[in-house]
Amino acid sequence: MTKVVYDTWQSVMNHERNPLRHIPDLNTRHMVMQVLAWMWCIIFSMYFSSMWMFGITATAHVFLIGAIALTVATFETAKRKPKFFIKKGYHTPSRSRYMYYKGKRIKYDDNDIGGEHE
C-alpha cells in the first residue's frame, strides 16, 4: 500500500515523472504546477462551498509549492555552480568591517575573510 501511495504521489508531483517533464524550462513547469494548484484550491473551495477554505488552501499551496521550488532551485545551483555560495571576502554580508572598543573605531584587516570562527 505504501508503494502505491508513493508511486501515485511521484506520478503527479515529481516534475521529472509527470507529463510536465516534456516542458524543457523548469520555471515554466513550476508556473504550470502553480496554476494547477490554484485550480484545485478553487475546486475544493467550491465543493465545501466556503471562500474561507479557498483562502486557506490557496495560501497553503503557494507556500508548499514555492518552498519545494526554492529547495529544488537551491539544490540545482549547488550541483551546477557550487562556487555560487562562496563569495570572495566576507562570507557574512551582515558583518561590519569595523569594530568599536572603548569608543575607538578599529578597522579589520582587508585580508580578513570574516566569520567569528576563523
Between residues 32 and 109, the one the model is more confident about: 32
Q: Strand pairing partners for 107?
A: 98
What is the C-alpha separation between 93 and 37, in angstroms, rounded?
Answer: 36
pLDDT by residue (tens digit) across 84-105? 766 665 555 555 556 778 888 8
Q: pLDDT, tens digit, for every residue of 8-59?
A: 777 777 778 888 888 888 888 888 888 888 888 788 777 777 777 778 877 8
Stronger pLDDT, 114 or 35, i.e. the higher one:
35
List Cα–Cα distances, 29 to 12, 39, 79, 96, 103, in angstroms: 12, 15, 20, 41, 56
